[in-house]
Every structure is written in C-alpha cells, then in structure tokens.
Chains A and B, each alone.
Chain A
Amino acid sequence: MSLSYIMPGFRGTLAFTVFYLSLVVLIPLSSLVFKSFQLSWGDYWAIITHKRVLAAFKVSFATSFVAALATGFFGFIIAWVMVRYPVPGKRFLDALIDLPFALPTAVAGVVLATIYQPSGVLGQWLFNTFGLKVAYTPLGIVVALVFIGLPFIVRTVEPVLQEFDASMEEAAASLGASRWQIFSRVIFPNIFPALLTGVSLSFARGVGEYGSVIFIAGNLPYVSEIVPLLIVTKLEQYQYAGATAIALTMLVISFVLLLLINLLQRWVRMRSGQI
C-alpha cells in the first residue's frame, strides 16, 4: 500500500478498526445470522411473510420515513433560527435540543402518551378541533420519533450553517438575486448534504426505536405494532428462532437502506463538486 508511506500508521489503525468493528458490531450480528440457521428456509419464509409481521414492517419503516422527513423540515428551521438570529436564551434552548439524547426513551414515551391520549391536554384539543387521534395510532409513533430524531438534524445542520460563508450571500445579492433566490439557490444547496445526513441518522434511529414508541403506539396488531415490539413479544414467548428471523430481516433491510442513502449522499456531494 503506497498509502502507508504517505500517512504513517496505516497498518496499525486499519488493524484496530477491523478488530474493533468485529468485536462490537460484526461478531454479535453474525451470531444473529447463525442463530437463524436453525430454521429451514421454508420456516423462515413462513415467519417473515406472516401477515402480522409484514404489517409491522410496513408500520416501522413508513413511520420512520415520515418522521425523518418531518424532523428534517422542523429541525432545519430550528437550526436556522438558532444560527441566524440573536435568539434570547439561546444557551438554554440549545441544551433543550439535546434533551431527547439524554432522556430515557421510556420516560419520553410515557410523557407523550399522557398528553396525546384522548383525555390528555393535547390529545383532547386535537380531537375536538381537527378530529385527529394521535395516541394509539401510527401518527402517535411518528410524534414519538419526531421527538427522538430532532437532535440528529439540528446537530448535523447547525455547524454547517454556522460555517456558511456570508460573503456568498452578499455576492448573490450584488448579482441581483432576491432573498428567496439566495436561499434556494445558494444557501440550501450548500446545507443539503448535511441535512441528508441528519435525516438518514434520524431515520435509522427511528427504525430501531423501542422505548418511546411502545407507550404511545397502543401496539394494535396490523395497525400500530412496530417490528422491535414484535421481536420482544416473540422472545417473551420463547420463540427464539422466530425472533431472530425477524431481527435478521430487519437488519438486512436497514443495512440496504442506509447503503442507498450513503450512495445518494455521495451523488449529491459529487454533483456539487464537494468530492
């Protein structure tokens, strides 16, 4: 490797990286694969194509996707306001954004369920004014995931917005661009790769989220039951092989999706000359 001569320490750091990833990620995950080998192909197929399982997959990925997009939109606005305007109490707000990181997710779930349930403060109001039911529906899951995902967006977009060269905006203005043109043609394209990273992180987090969701989702089979809950249910019924089969499928789908998002990011960066 000619690289090893330019940057010293290539062999050592590569060895460490492979060792660490094996220990922390690959070995546990491969045991998952081996465990599912106990099942025949037919059994495996029967488990994962069961109607209830398919419905759970749909709920999990659809709510995570919608929640990631919604978080992306709101998170971007929050990051924008925090960076661009002299907000009073900025430090306080900044700490508030990170709270979903630190809070036990079950606590978040209980709190959200309490206020969004039909007799809760927000739940009542939403139902009376818009006829919207939030708790115990897929919409409830989205609400929980939006809460959990917010810091991912804000923390990835904020530094990029902060470093954005203000003279680019001035240059655009001096060339006759309107405020909207400056935003849509100059600022947003420069922030977009970071936003995409934030959205994919919050999507990945949403797919795996358990604690906050189960309290607000109501967990009705075929309606608001998520895959992680299904796995836990199977484990509690000592159906280890079935649980692993679903887990493995989840793993593969998530991995493929993340890979696709990564490729999309690469393409965006390439198009904008950042690679």
Chain B
Amino acid sequence: MSIELRNISKKFGHFSALKDINLEIAEGELVALLGPSGCGKTTLLRIIAGLERPDSGHVMLNGVDKTSHHVSSRGIGFVFQHYALFRHMTVFDNVAFGLRVKPRRDRPSEAQIKQKVSSLLALVQLEWLGERFPDQLSGGQRQRIALARALAVEPEVLLLDEPFGALDASVRKDLRQWLRDLHQELHVTSIFVTHDQEEAMEVASQVVVLHNGNIEQQGSPADIYDYPRNAFVSKFIGQTNILSWRDLRREWLDEASLPGEQPGDGAVAHIRPHNISVEKAVSDIDTPLTIKDWQHLGAIIRIELRYPQLQAEHGSVIYAEMPTERFRELHLEKGDAVAVHIKHAQWFN
C-alpha cells in the first residue's frame, strides 16, 4: 500500500510536534523515520496508524483519504516500542488475537487459526514458544512475537515504533538483519521509527530525517550520507568535521572540495573523516597539523589531528579515517607533522 501525507500538523498544547508535513511513500518500501528525540517521528507514525489524530491535513492510504478512519479499520499492523503483548495470554493466543476478534462471518475456523499461527511462529522462528507467557520471554523474543501478532491480520502497512530500542546491542544487530530479510520476503510497505542513524542507514531503503517537527530530507541512505541537504542532516548522520572558510587552508582543497562560488563570511564546510587523506609532511613544508592519537575501528583507523588554532565543539581536533593497511604503510607516530588533502566537502552558509 502506498502512503501519502498531506499538510499534516499536530500540536500538543503550545508545542508544535509536526509542522505541515508532506510525505510520499511508495508501495513496498522499507522506510526509516529518523531524528533526535522530540522531533515528532513517533507522533507521525501514530498519525499514520490512526492512534493519533492530526490537527489538520490528510492521511491517504492507496490514494484513499483515511484521516478519519479508526485504527482498527486502516489495515495497518503496529509494533509497539515495549511490545505491548497481552500479559495474560499465551504467545499462541497473542498471535491469534487479531483473527479471533474478527466479526463472525470473516473469522477463520479454530483449525485455520491454529495453522496460521503456527506458520507465523515459524516465520519468526519461535515455533516452540507457543504455550509460554510473554513474561517468560527475552526482549528479542517478545519483539518477534509482537511482529508475528501484527502480521496475523495481514496488514498492508507495517508500522514499528523504535523496534530495537529496548534491546541490547548484539540482539539488535541480529534483529536488524532479520527485519530486512523479512521485508524482502513479505514485501509489505513498512515504516519504522528510530533515533539511531546507523540503524536507519543499515536497514532502510528510504530514510526520512525529521527535526523539530519538519522533514529535513528524504532519500536513500547513500544520498543522505553523501549529499546532506543542510547542516543539521550532515551533523546528524555519521561523523563530520565542521570547518569554517577561515579555518581551512587553501592548499588542503582542490576543485572538488572548493566551494562553487566565493563563500560568505559564515560559510562552513562539512567534511566526512574518510574524505580527508593524510600524508607524512615533507620536512620543509609549513603545516599546523600533528598526530594526536588514533583508534582502531577494525578495517579502518580513525586519526585525531591536532589543529591548535581551530575552535570547534569537540576541541582543536580534526578527524580523518583511512584503511588500516594504508595506515601501517605510512609508519606514523604520535606528534608527527602531517599534510592533508580534502577530497570532498559539503558547503553550507
């Protein structure tokens, strides 16, 4: 099912949670609503679900205006942040709930329900847990049961609120992969909310970045990473060095990284660490940069370069990244003077 939001606004008291949101999501996408806490992403998800009503604007599902439809008749499946499993029911009864509350004429027989629930439990790879109660499951298992329960009614859209938020790191990584595989298999339009940019980049086919109730940018993960539309997106997604026009030395830049036109006084360059290449300085060259420290991140090395006259949020340091092998070849030591070359920069005023 395709989703279209038109001019959605929502206020809580005097606080504007969403300001005139317009968004189109094509059928079969796996979309991440990404933003810092309080940016309105969960509110937006709840409005799509029908759990919250917008103050103005329209929610179109498959081109039909469903703004005033109740959550139970929108054909959506919702997975809650803390799972919201029914504590007094077994896992089996939880998953069967959506089928058993159907009006009599649509309700499948108990045998059909049993078959359907078994196949869903198999899909989430938890067949053997049917007779357990939610309190007896681990966080990751509860999450998957919540998903199976939502899928039981064959929703046309799957909405997930911080699906991995309450899980520990290793379970989270497994579940991300698993969710992506599941989406490939079922191909149901899915939207999930997250504040973790890494998670959004890894799982989603489309990322929507929200900030202060506005959509800052929508696009594929690669697009958003390489061509952030504004300073907020650039800062929020991945690591970035922020340097003003005055801080930058002309010799570090080339055609690709120079600003297109003569920059104003407030112009700043956002430079990803991997776009800064580091060389040992030839002795007679005048360079202000020295190696302060470095960290091994597996296949790459992150180098901290001391730049005394820089006054940035994170101190007088520029970050650069390079493959570990290349770093070994350079034989760099702490305190060595280095020269840099900036391959790519995003300029913002």
Contacts and interface: CB of A to CB of B under 8 A. Distances in A.
B72 A176 contact: yes
Interface string B57-71: 000000000000011
A273 B77 contact: no
B135 A273 contact: yes
A174 B101 contact: no
A174 B72 contact: yes
A173 interface: yes
Interface string B326-337: 000000000000
A172 B150 CA distance: 10
Interface in B96-151: 97-98, 101-102, 133-136, 146, 149-150
A178 B153 CA distance: 15
Contacts of B133: 272-273
B59 to A, nearest CB: 15
A186 interface: yes
Interface residues of B, number: 32
Contacts of B90: 273
Contacts of B135: 273-274
Interface string A150-194: 000000000000000101101111111110010001100110000
Interface residues on A, range: 20 to 34
B162 to A, nearest CB: 12
B78 A172 contact: no
B150 A174 contact: yes
Contact of B87 (A177, A178, A181, A274): A274
Nearest to A273: B133
B51 interface: yes
B307 interface: no
A272 B135 CA distance: 10
Interface of B: 49, 51, 70-73, 76-78, 80-82, 84-90, 97-98, 101-102, 133-136, 146, 149-150, 152-153
Interface of A: 165, 167-168, 170-178, 181, 185-186, 189-190, 272-274
28 contacts: A165-B84, A168-B84, A170-B80, A170-B84, A171-B78, A171-B80, A171-B85, A173-B71, A174-B49, A174-B51, A174-B71, A174-B76, A175-B72, A175-B97, A176-B153, A177-B101, A178-B101, A185-B101, A190-B88, A272-B87, A272-B88, A272-B89, A272-B133, A273-B87, A273-B90, A273-B133, A273-B136, A274-B88
